[in-house]
């Protein structure tokens, strides 16, 4: 009987030592900063695999709980609390799923009879993309403006630009759009004013269409209108730049990416 008691005490002590000691799998010298060190040159650790619905059905998931979401194809970690889970996909979405640089070679013409005192789309500056988790998006856009005035009379236009997201204008992205004025002739075409803007916004999972819009507020004097965008249709440029390179350089642009 005494032997059995001693044996049990020894086993318990050893078991207790295993619980609190470092554990190495595939290694006899686990890293000192780890409680579990898994080493292999032929395999990896396989996390529980489940669909999005199965993951969301987990009751009171612990903060830091990790599963592999087979629908989203990513390792998903609960960065919230058990009562208010916030599952974050740890795999970056490929850049191919969001727009890169979009260039518009179309010109928006605004005067007192068309595109006047209303928000209108800048031709070509629109793109649609889908994100599968909450992301902060950075949007950059560049517009080229100039006065379309073939007389010597003075003229002026007050213009503004804003982003539209899924049909709703984001007023926090609104900016003043300066314009170059030229009295007479078409010399302004070589002096188009590049105006660049940047805006960041956090978007929930979903599909989004972003458009660039402008507003022409008022004219003073007798001007025939303003133009926004690339208007060099036959400019050959100079040096080693091609016509396409010159036209692209003076075109409206939209760039959307992740922060």
pLDDT in tens, 168-195: 999 999 999 887 766 555 554 555 778 9
pLDDT at 165: 97
Domain boundaries, the chain: 45-91, 96-258
pLDDT at 81: 93
pLDDT at 13: 45
Task: List the chain residues with pLDDT less than 70.
Answer: 1-21, 91-100, 148-156, 181-191, 218-224, 231-239
Within 10 Å of residue 201's Cβ, how many Cβ atoms? Answer: 16
Nearest CA among 233, 226, 234, 239 for reference residue 144: 226
pLDDT at 141: 96
Asked if 216 and 148 touch (Cβ cutoff 8 Å), the reply is: no
Q: Taking the model in full, what pTM does it have?
A: 0.63
CATH of 96-258 among 1.20.1070, 2.30.30, 1.10.10, 2.60.120: 2.60.120
């Amino acid at each position: 009987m005494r032997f059995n008691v001693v044996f049990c005490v020894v086993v318990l002590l050893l078991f207790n030592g295993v619980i609190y000691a470092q554990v190495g799998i595939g290694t006899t010298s686990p890293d000192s900063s780890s409680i579990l060190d898994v080493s292999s040159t032929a395999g990896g650790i396989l996390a529980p695999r489940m669909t999005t619905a199965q993951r969301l059905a987990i009751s009171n998931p612990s903060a830091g709980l990790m599963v592999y979401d087979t629908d989203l194809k990513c390792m998903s970690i609960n960065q919230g609390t058990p009562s208010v889970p916030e599952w974050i996909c740890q795999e970056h979405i490929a850049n191919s799923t969001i727009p890169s640089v979009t260039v518009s070679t179309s010109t928006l013409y605004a005067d007192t009879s068309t595109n006047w005192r209303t928000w209108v789309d800048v031709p070509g500056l629109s793109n649609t993309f889908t994100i599968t988790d909450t992301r902060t998006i950075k949007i950059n856009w560049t517009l080229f403006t100039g006065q379309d005035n073939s007389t010597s009379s003075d003229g002026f236009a007050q213009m503004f630009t804003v982003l539209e997201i899924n049909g709703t204008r984001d007023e926090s992205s609104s900016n003043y759009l300066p314009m170059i004025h030229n009295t007479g002739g078409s010399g302004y075409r070589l002096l188009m004013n590049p105006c660049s803007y940047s805006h960041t916004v956090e978007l929930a999972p979903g599909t989004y269409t972003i458009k660039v819009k402008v507003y022409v507020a008022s004219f003073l004097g007798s001007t025939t209108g303003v133009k926004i965008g690339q208007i060099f249709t036959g400019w050959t440029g100079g040096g080693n730049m091609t016509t396409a390179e010159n036209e692209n350089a003076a075109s409206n642009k939209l760039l959307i990416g992740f922060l």
